[in-house]
């Protein structure tokens, strides 16, 4: 049996990122994964969040990921007008009384 300083259970995004960080710190690390192959049916991720991109950028690898993807606006602010200020929503008690 081979011994390692750290064994990571799971080769998903978190496990791989942890393994990469430990390897950069010269820690002997091994990843164990229950799946026999890397093939996955369907999509498992819809994109990268801003904080994830920041961490990848700190390691100098963000551009590799961004070059392969597409930018998408996926968030907005409800009940906010771009001009003229915020729109007020009626209070529940007023809606029930009317």
- The predicted-structure confidence for 34-57, as pLDDT tens digits, reads as follows 888 777 777 666 778 888 889 889
Interval 68-92 mean pLDDT: 65
Contacts of 28-33 spanning 24+ positions with Cβ under 8 A: 28/4, 29/4, 29/5, 30/2, 30/4, 30/6, 31/7, 32/7, 32/8
Determine the 3-state secondary structure of 29 from DSSP.
strand
pTM over cut 0.75: no
Angle, alpha carbons 68-45-61 (nearest 5°)? 40
Determine the 3-state secondary structure of 89 from DSSP.
coil
Interval 69-84 mean pLDDT: 67
Select from 3, 68, 8, 5 the least CA-distant residue to 33: 8
pLDDT band for 13, please (50, 70, 90 cuts): confident
Mean pLDDT of the chain: 79
Domain boundaries, the chain: 1-35
């Amino acid at each position: 049996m081979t011994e390692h300083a750290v064994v990571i259970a799971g080769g998903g995004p978190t496990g791989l990122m942890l393994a990469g960080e430990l390897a950069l710190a010269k820690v002997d690390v091994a990843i164990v994964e229950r799946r026999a192959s890397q093939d996955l049916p369907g999509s498992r991720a819809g994109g990268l969040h801003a904080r994830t991109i920041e961490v990848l950028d700190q390691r100098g690898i963000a551009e590799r990921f961004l070059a392969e993807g597409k930018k998408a606006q996926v968030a907005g602010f409800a009940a906010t007008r771009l001009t003229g200020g915020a729109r007020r929503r009626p209070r529940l008690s007023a809606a029930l009384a009317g």
